[in-house]
Structure 1
Amino acid sequence: MTPAKPRVVLGVGAGIAAYKVCELLRRLTESGHDVHVVPTRDALRFVGEPTWAALSGNPVAAEVWTGVDQVPHVRLGQGADLVFVAPATADLLARAACGLADDLLTNTLLTARCPVVFAPAMHTEMWEHPATQANVATLRERGAIVLEPAVGRLTGADTGKGRLPEPAELFEVARRVLARGNAPADLAGRHVVVSAGGTREPIDPVRFIGNRSSGLQGYALARTALARGARVTLVAANVALPDPAGAQVVPVGTAEEMRKAVLEAAADADAVVMAAAVADFRPADYRTSKIKKSESGEPEPIELVRNPDILAELGQHRRPGQVIVGFAAETDDVLANGRDKLVRKKCDLLVVNQVGENLAFGRPDNAAVVLAADGATTEIPRGPKEDLADVVWDLVVARL
């Protein structure tokens, strides 16, 4: 017997960003989801009904009076595995927060008993208005996941916060939320900080001391936290990956820059996960010109000094109730070195993984052992980095 396809209701608000949702719809259908598009009346001014019907393979309606014998205003929400609203305009957020039911989409939102995700898109002033922020807070308190909008080009010449995140990243949110089934958004109302990537310490304008970290594990942690309802600050060092939808991304380069960004974001964070590979040392002197070969051909020695220990500083100066998670990439004596680091850094959890040729760095999979300050040990078998991220957040939630 063929298993049923996950059923997604894709609500579309009346914003210019509706055209980007066509790409989200395509990704959902091509990955095996049964998608029913429910636009608002005015959303059809931006993208018409034939487009939504052709891309979804299902009939499209905006009014409760269409196909009334099927009771769509009740059945759509009852049968959905996920309701995903994009773009969620200021008007639509307000109507959803107030519990209005003046069209098929708002009726569906009231009857849905599955996870609901809103991807807002509007001008910066509208997003920052106290009314919108109050509506967002209300929806989050009720268990909905409301993503933070991206920063970038808006309608016309305006630029700022309010841009709809890219469809590929919205799809990742939908995929992660669906993977959790009806599990509650257990990080809702929480602010988490995740570091990712690898710092680079410049030697001269051309060369640097760095490492092999790609940022994939840190980004998996950020995406998974977003799917669990968290407000996420992602401090990313030298990462060539698209910004996760809904995360505030702070790009940094060096360990000093990462320290400043992480400590600033951690001031009001409930949890901090240091997944980045931070260089232990940096050159004592930065050469403003490229270092040339000497006549003898022998390289000049480079004096190194220690970088700040960000994880240890977080452990020493944590705010009450804050959970600190470190990562330890080891090549030898993995668990022994991990236990020593757990004590020295004063963190609650330490994710220990073996690195090396074709291990961890740059790969989509990972395996680890999570050591806890209370003596607990959790083994995570090799699998997708998102699965490891979910286990880490499970352990964090249990300690918040």
Structure 2
Amino acid sequence: MRQRRTAALMMGLMMACALSVVPVLASAQVQGWSEGAAARQVSMRDLIPRMSSGQAYSERYGFSVDLEGGGHIGMDFTISNLGIRSGYGAAQVRVRLPGQERYEYGERVSRGDWTTAEDRFALDIAKTQVEAQGDDAFVLRHDGDVKVELTFRNTMPMWRPGSGQIRQGEDYYRFTLISPRADVEGRVQIDGEWHTVRASRAGYADHVATNVAPYELAKRFSRFRDYNDDVFVIWREIELSEKFGGRTLTWAMVGVGERIVFSDADAQLRPGNVRGDGETGYQVPHAVQLEGESGQGQMRFVMRGDRMEKKDLLASYGRAARLVASALSKPWQYNIHGEYALEVDAGGRTLRTRGRGHYTVDFVNP
């Protein structure tokens, strides 16, 4: 099987082009996840791209599933104005099945070469499609050297943290959990042979929409997600840039079975065992403690890392793009692996669970 690797996003060059045209941000107050009106229940129509002419506008839809019997499939769709042209679309596909060679695909196309529906959520970008099916399912397809056909059926409803956005004046960063948990079934064709794939409550998808370049918005993005039998826990943290007030904003959500039992759009995350990385200059937390409180109850999450992996996020780009981009941003990714403990008091009951996982810290700028 032939692997196809295409530098679809050209991140470094896009950053460079965007910087010269991003307007100076107003001094309006920053609205965090917990401020403003709470987001209403998400519908499929909310996922339709809201195309914008702003140079920093982008939307990303990410789908992933850990398969029964081992293996993983990921499919990402990006719409963006960052770069030389506006309104381009990009698709990335990753397939790893037991006993098969890993497949990776990525392609970026101009605005006239991809389509989106106006009356429903449906994207067709670079041999890769996603389409809403009813109120709680998605059909995904990819027609490359490897063919993929998948259906995600949500077992937990779509959800947004608090107001669903961080906002300052006209500038925004929005986040939606498209599939907190989903049953997945489908098939993958490799070298002409179809392989049936499935997973129970192990599918995940989210949607991010923004009109601010990441290196303008934040210094750091941190995230964690884990499925532990019936329990699903997810949290995300953003340390905003000084231009956006320099606050650290964190939200957390816990689900049991098909229900969300706890959420807090203003959780507090405390880093621990912070170690400096002499190569990058970043201060990396090798432990975290997160506490949340809402009308549903309280939660506490503690994790201590015992292994770290790091990655230069510009390493895969060409010399010219890397040189320009590194003058604007120094993105490094750290994955901290370890044991965690979760305790939730909600609805008159106490939930305690332990597991092993990893949290990711993406540093954008010092």
| TM > 0.5 fold call | no
TM-score (norm 1): 0.27
Which structure's residues are more often strand, by fraction?
A: 2
Q: TM-score, normalised by structure 2?
A: 0.28
Could you say which structure has the greater relative contact order, defined with CA pairs below 8 angstroms and 6 or more residues apart? Answer: 2
Return the index of the structure with the highest Cα Rg.
Answer: 1
Query: Which of the two has greater helix per residue?
Result: 1
